[in-house]
């Protein structure tokens, strides 16, 4: 869960800076990883009721 949030934060920061690629911990994060992170966060939020 923490990694998913970090991926989404990195994505948001890259978008704010106008970058087309996302890097986290020295690794390039692809769109599939971003989508999986989004789905995980949505699922966790629906389970917790947030």
Q: pLDDT (tens digit, 9 = 90+) per residue, 13-43?
A: 988 998 878 889 999 988 888 889 999 999 9
Return d(Cα 22, Cα 8) in angstroms, integer: 10
> Model-level pTM greater than 0.85?
no
Number of domains in the chain: 1
Q: E strands of 1-50, at which residues? A: 22-24, 27-29
Confidence of residue 50 (pLDDT cuts 50, 70, 90): low
Two structure tokens written together for 35: 């989508």
Counting Cα atoms < 13 Å in the Cβ hemisphere of 20 gives 0
Q: What are phi and psi of 24, to 5 degrees?
A: -140, 125
Domain that holds residue 36: 2-48
Dihedral over Cα of 40, 9, 18, 24: its sign: negative
């Amino acid at each position: 869960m923490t990694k998913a949030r970090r991926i989404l934060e990195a994505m948001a920061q890259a978008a704010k800076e106008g970058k087309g690629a996302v890097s986290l911990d020295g690794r390039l994060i692809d769109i599939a990883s971003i989508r999986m992170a989004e789905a995980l966060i949505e699922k966790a939020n629906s389970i917790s009721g947030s």
